Structure 1
Amino acid sequence: MPNVTPRTRTVDVRTALVDAAIAVLERDGLRGLTVRAVAQEAGVAPMGVYNHFTDKQGLQRSVVDFGFARLTDTIHASADPDPGERMMRCGRAYRRIALEHPQVYRLMFGPDLGHGTLENPARAFEALVRTIMFAQAGGVIRAGDPMTIAKNVWAAIHGAVILEIERAGPEMPSSADDEYESLLTMIQRGLAPAG
C-alpha cells in the first residue's frame, strides 16, 4: 500500500505565506517584499505564492488585512471593566502592535496600497468607538458624538506612533514610553467631562 501524505489545508498554506511575507517585510522592507523572497522564506515555489494570491499586491493586501485584524482584536482585548483603564490599555496596545511590526504598520497606512479590504479599518474604528462609548457611559469622557471623538483620539495616537516609528519627532529628555504615557493622559484629561 503506498504512503499517502495528507495535503496541507489551503488556509494553513495561506497563513504560512502571510507569515513569511511579514517576516520578509520586517527584515527587508517593502522593496524586499517580492514573490520570490516570500516563496523562499516559506519554502515553496514562487508558483505556490501565485496560487494563493493573484499577484504581489494581493499578498500585500493580505498582510494589511492581518495588521488590521490584529489591531481590532487588540482593541477588543483591552476590555478592562474600569472605563478609564480600558482607554489607557487600548492606547498602549495600539502602540505595542505598531512597534512589534513597524513595517506592517507603515504598509497599513501607506499611500501605495490603501487599506487592504475596505472593511478592515472600519472594524478597527468601530472597536475604538465602542471603547469611547464605554468611557462615556462610565463618566470618564464627556458627552458628544463618539465617532468624532474616536477619530480625534485615533489621529492623535496614530500621529505619535508614526512619529516614533519614523524617528521624525524631536529628541526628548524623557523615554519614548514616558512620552507616550503622557500623551494618553493628556487625551484622557482633555476629554474629561467639564466640572
Structure 2
Amino acid sequence: MASDQHKRPHKRTSTQLLTSKVIHATTELLEENGPQAVTIRAVAARAQVAPMSVYNHFDDKQGLLHAVVEERFAIMTRALRDISEYDPLARLRKAGTIVHELMQANPRCYQFMWTTQPGPEARNAFTQLIEIVRYGQAAGAVIDVEAHSLANAIWACVQGAFSVEFLYGARDSTSSDRVTQVNYDALLDLIERGVRTSDDHST
C-alpha cells in the first residue's frame, strides 16, 4: 500500500508534464502557421511524444486548440488579477497594457482566441475586467453605467484594435513596434476619457 501511495504523485506529475509539453507544442505550431498547422501528428512530433498519448489526453485537434485557448486566457486572468495600481484609471490602463503585451507576444494565438466560443477561462478574464471597472466606479472615477456593459465595450475596443493591428502588421512589413505602441496608447487615452466621470474630464 505504501508503495502505491508513493507511485501516484509521480504518475500525476508525468501526466502534467505531458500535458504541458503538448500544449506548448500546440501553441508553437499555432503561432508559427495558424490553426491549420495543428494536427495530432504534428503536435506529437513537436512535443516528442507518441501520437496516441495526444489522443488519450486531448481527443482531437479541437481539443488541442481548446487547451491552448484556455491556457492563454488563464494567463491573462492571472495577470489582470495581479494588477496592484491603486488609482482606478491607472489600474484600467494597466489592464489594457497587459492585454496588449500578451497579444503582441503571441499574435496568432490571440487572433484565433477571439474567434472561438468563450470558455471558462475567457469568462474569468472578462470577469477581472468587470471588477476593475467596478473598482473605478466605487472610487467615483468611472462613469456609473452597468459594469458588464462598460467592460464589454472596453473589451471590444481592445479586441478590435488588436485585430486591425494584426491584419495591418501582416500586410505591411514597414510597420514598426513604435508606431503600433503610439496607436495603442492613443486608444487607451480614448477609452480613459470615455469612462471618466464628468468631474475628471477636464484632466
Which TM-score bucket, shorter chain as reference? 0.7 to 0.9
Q: Give the letter for the 2:80 counterpart.
A: I
Q: Which runs of 5+ in 2 are unaligned?
A: 1-9
- For residue 117 of structure 2, the aligned residue among 114, 118, 122 is 114
Q: Which runs of 5+ in 1 are unaligned?
A: 1-5
Name the TM-score, length of structure 2 as normaliser: 0.84
Count of aligned residue pairs for this structure pair: 187
CA RMSD between the two structures: 2.3
* Greater mean alpha carbon deviation, residues 150-159 or residues 170-179: 170-179
Q: Give the letter for the 1:132 counterpart.
A: V
User: Secondary structure in 2 aligned to 1:167?
Assistant: helix
User: Secondary structure in 2 aligned to 1:175?
Assistant: helix
Q: Give the letter for the 1:177 counterpart.
A: Q
Name the TM-score, length of structure 1 as normaliser: 0.87
CA distance in 1, matches of 2:64, 2:142: 40
Q: Give the letter for the 2:117 counterpart.
A: G
Contact 1:140 1:192 in 2 (8 A): yes
CA gap of 1:19–1:172, structure 2 versus 1, over 3 A, is: closer
Question: By how many angstroms is 1:39 displaced?
Answer: 0.5
Q: Name the residue aligned to 2:77.
A: 72
4+ runs of 1 displaced by more than 3 Å?
168-174
Q: What pairs up with 1:74-89 in 2 under 5 angstroms?
A: 74-89=79-94
* Greater mean alpha carbon deviation, residues 54-63 or residues 72-81: 72-81
User: Secondary structure in 2 aligned to 1:78?
Assistant: coil
Q: Give the letter for the 1:143 counterpart.
A: D
Q: Give the letter for the 1:73 counterpart.
A: R
CA distance in 1, matches of 2:84, 2:66: 28
Question: By how many angstroms is 1:172 displaced?
Answer: 9.1
User: Hey, which of these two has a bigger chunk of helix by percent?
Assistant: 2
Question: By how many angstroms is 1:78 displaced?
Answer: 2.1
Q: Percent identity over the alignment?
A: 30
Contact 1:26 1:102 in 2 (8 A): yes
- For residue 110 of structure 2, the aligned residue among 105, 112, 116 is 105
